[in-house]
Amino acid sequence: MSRAAIQSQRVDAPLTQAATFLVLSVTDAPEAIQKVRSTLASISDLSKNVSIRDLNASFACTVGIGSDVWDRVTRLPRPAELHPFPAVKGAVHTAVSTPGDLLFHIRSERRDLCFEFERQLMDSLGDAVALIDETVGFRYFDVRDLLGFVDGTANPVGPAVPDSILVAEEDAHVVGGSYIVVQKYVHNLKGWSTLKAEQQEAIIGRTKLDNVELDDAESGQQSHKTLATIEDDDGNEYSILRDNMPFGSPGSGEFGTYFIGYSRRLWVIERMLERMFKGDPPGLHDRLLDFSKPLTGTTFFAPSASLLDGLGND
């Protein structure tokens, strides 16, 4: 297939007011794989049916497929880097690895469209899947996380977006696809609020009110921003696209950030996690983690829309 003929999923869709992150496992019910294949093949149709109900609501859904079910669900060659999320054990904090076969990243300006899509999706999948996690995210003021910082500023824009998130000729079978890593974090907001704004800013690497980037520390403890910056030996920087969303429930004391990163190269996100959890220099982990604990960690691959459509051909 030529590259021009391949259509990606809407991985670069804009951040919206609402998002649902749905992680499912595929069951061993009879015909489960068949049902998953036919549902994934009709995802673009289902998306159209829901998005037409308000064209202004920027509806988009991205599907990710996990390493364990890739072969059975697609019957196609595996993306070169696809493997389960590797736990990262630092001296103090651990990035846990948790199961997940399918990810649906559902986005819209309207919460009801996300809900309606998910309802029809679950109807279609029936007993072929079991729920692992469903997180409903919302926009918080000017795209802030619940720690109070603007989140997503350093994302690539324009032509840098496909360049950093879409697999190209380097892996010809899955051109137009994207690796996805998700982690559901819960925050210790009480602890965080005992820090002075300057301490919080040093941890993140940006100012809180006006979101100005701070210089990298010359040595010693590095900020989150610095630890999450990945360069190769030639000084080339590798970006990822993040669509983090806050979630939570003040009534039950839950305050979280759902981290989702899209990348053309899985190793870039994995190196970010190594640097955050083990520290650089080693031992000086990302202080953000003293107030943020990941409950999940799962890797997926979002194949092109063309590949998904083709799953219905049997």
Ligand X SMILES: *[C@@H]1O[C@H](CO)[C@@H](O)[C@H](O)[C@H]1NC(C)=O
Q: Which residues bind ligand X (CB under 6 A)?
A: 42, 45-46, 49, 55-56, 120
Strands 241-242 and 178-187: unpaired
> Among the candidate windows 9-17, 77-85, 100-108, 224-232, which touches ligand HEM by CB under 6 A?
224-232
Using rule CB under 6 A, residue 266 touches ligand HEM: no
From ligand X, ligand HEM, none, interface partner of 46 (C-beta below 5 to 8 A by class): ligand X
- CA distances, 142 to each of 14, 120, 148, 163, 245 (Å): 14, 31, 10, 27, 12
**Given the complex with ligand X, which of 42 and 207 has the nearer CB atom?**
42
Is position 151 annotated as part of the catalytic site? yes
Q: Is there a contact between 63 and 40 (Cβ–Cβ < 8 Å)?
A: yes
Binding mask of the shown chain, residues 231 to 260, with x at each position contacting ligand HEM by CB under 6 A: ---------x-x--------------x-x-
Kindly indicate which of the ranges 27-35, 48-56, 148-156, 165-173 contains the residues binding ligand HEM, using the contact rule CB under 6 A. 148-156
The pairing of beta strand 129-138 with beta strand 292-294: unpaired
Work out what residue 229 binds among ligand HEM, ligand X, none; the CB cut-off runs from 5 to 8 Å by kind: ligand HEM
81 lies in the site for ligand HEM, by CB under 6 A: no
The alpha carbon of residue 275 and the mean position of all alpha carbons in its chain are separated, in whole angstroms, by: 18
| Active-site residue, from 12, 151, 243, 286 | 151
Contacted entry of ligand X, ligand HEM, none for residue 45, CB cut-off 5 to 8 Å set by kind: ligand X
Q: Which does 152 bind (CB under 5 to 8 A by kind): ligand X, ligand HEM, none?
A: ligand HEM
Query: Of the candidates 34, 49, 153, 193, which one interacts with ligand HEM according to CB under 6 A?
Result: 153
Please pick, from the candidates 225, 278, 285, 287, the single residue that binds ligand HEM as defined by CB under 6 A: 225
- Rule CB under 6 A: say whether 103 interacts with ligand HEM: no
Could you say which of 224, 264, 265, 287 contacts ligand HEM (CB under 6 A)?
A: 224
Binding segment for ligand HEM among 29-37, 41-49, 110-118, 145-153 (CB under 6 A)? 145-153
Q: CA–CA separation, 139 vs 123, rounded Å?
A: 27
Measuring CA to CA, which residue among 25, 42, 21, 305 is closest to residue 178?
Answer: 305
Residue (7 or 221) nearer to ligand X, CB: 7
- Indicate which residues carry an active-site annotation: 151
Interface residue list for ligand HEM (CB under 6 A) = 145, 147, 149-154, 183, 185, 204, 206, 224-225, 228-229, 240, 242, 257, 259, 261, 269, 272-273, 288, 292
